[in-house]
Structure 1
């Protein structure tokens, strides 16, 4: 079957749709950066309800591929596609050769969109409106581009190496390098901006005048924060049966409520260990499981961190074999998406007894133990993870070293 003439209206449609997709992916990348800057309290305007919630989707581990957000890859791809279509309009004699490589990539992109839609439905139970728009646009773009190129599949594949595939894919790689590199640098800037904001807002009420905050140094503000904190009524937090690191007989007890699938908890696992290192003889550090998912959390009605409950079960069972902290540290450094296979792999790395582990994970006693931690957190009105208490006082700026330098001596 011979190729039909180029259908220019379809190509114009594909170009307009690719610009819309470019806009959606740009906004998703912006949301990702804002979430990184503002933390777990961030809310997007597309957070409509428990089902349609951009923030929940972007906070999940499925929103990243390696060190980069998925939206960054989408931004780079649709920038490449828009550029390719625009370039083809200016070289009518080469339109088909220029568009065969992007057409095949659009087919692959359609497959990726279907996979991401399946993850949203099956694993997350949440939908992001802008992500969903990209799923729909990927189909419409592929359909329009295929109609515009007007070639049967056999002809497309046979003509591939006669097309401008090398130049096209080199430009694809360069655009991805530039876009992802830019996103990476922005992430670093946003992380630094967040750190600066957090250090300049130490007041428990967070109502301090911004000019006054800039005039005082961090040490002075830390002293004021701790003085005000110690006037509050401390909460009672039972620690019996929980994993403890440091001096078990210490007068000062640091309690962390954490979720293994929470990206902020992953950072806290590293930072808290560093911050408490100078005080390991004066402090006992206690870990409480607080997985944020409806599979085990009695107050949640939606999926959020879909493997968090299972991670908590495995960590609890590692504690039963006397290896909680080895499992804790290894699991928080795990780069793969969490799954039963990953949990078992980590268990093998820390030399847990596999038969005891399996029976423990499946036991009602384990589920009851995690539920006790969850119920305690609910009673303490914990709204997110990580949440840190010191002798019953909730310390919000736990990431500021000067707070610990003031608080620990003040409690001794």
Structure 2
């Protein structure tokens, strides 16, 4: 499941938060969208699948074989590899701390990794006190030093088996991603075209909602419409991919509703509830709950109407009476129209439209391209 999620995020973007994603702090998707979810160009979760497959095969063989020495050697090889999995779990836990996010799926896998060596040790008849000594003797024997093991670890045989399994797994997933080289070339061409653009000056109101570091030098502007399906993808994808860069970027959300009742630059009848949704988001920003309100609007695009906006405001702990008055206030309407004028000045033709430091980002949904742009922007800032 985690492997599939990582691959889909990389290819198609993060459309909707999964079941274990509640907010920016409690989110599996935020982790799957970061570079930490990949190792050697392959999803980390896939390496985990190969490890679990090896463990399953090793235990199965040890139960079926009548050669007890061979069974012990097989379990010992699995145990030794599981110790490496535990150390790797500590390493990945550090990444979670670095991201300041809790991934329930990841933590669950780490716990499984901790339990596996305990069960294997039990199968080998090892007590907790003898565990460390066993590992030391095993390593000595692997390197040809006489030890107290009652069996031969046969490092060449088991090393070849483990290497074969992981190599086949790597080749299999790499074939699944067979167009990576061509994709890399496309990304480099797109990156070159991106930086050949002349930056445009984008007008951002002082009260515009911002995510990330408000003082960051990389400014990302997202013009969006709450009734637009592609905007729903961008709403969750952008922050998911940018999560590991949240101290280096500031993401502004500006309204560009394709609603002729408030937007003079579009025809009437396209997104009839988008204008009121934009006004509701302005009121949510005033009451300090913009991003949570923003997420709920995009999760419930088919329910957009005035009654739902007020119900959602109540859910977010807003004063419903003042929220309703805010939605109808001329000042609110003018704020939305200032965003619309900003979009028009930037020559926005569609939603969502994303700009980074004044340059239009056409392939915002491509995780790898978005990361390359951010890396290059950071690199240029350091010069």
TM-score, normalization by structure 1: 0.46
TM-score, normalization by structure 2: 0.49
